[in-house]
Amino acid sequence: MLNLQRTLLVIAVMMATIMEVLDMTIINVSLQSMGGELSATPSQMSWAMTSYILASAIAMPLTGFFTDNFGRKQYLLLSMCTFVLMSILCAVAQSLEALILFRFLQGVFGAS
User: Per-residue pLDDT averaged across 70-82, rounded?
Assistant: 89
Question: Helix/strand/coil (H, E, C) string of 11-30?
Answer: HHHHHHHHHHHHHHHHHHHH
Nearby residues of 87 by Cβ (< 8 Å), 6 or more positions away: 23, 106
Taking 80 as the threshold, does the pLDDT of residue 102 lie above it? Answer: yes
Q: How far apart are CA 89 and CA 87, in angstroms?
A: 5
Nearby residues of 76 by Cβ (< 8 Å), 6 or more positions away: 12, 13, 16, 112
Helix (H) or strand (E) holding 112: none
User: What is the value of pTM for the model shown?
Assistant: 0.84
Taking 80 as the threshold, does the pLDDT of residue 1 lie above it? Answer: no
User: Per-residue pLDDT averaged across 99-106, rounded?
Assistant: 93
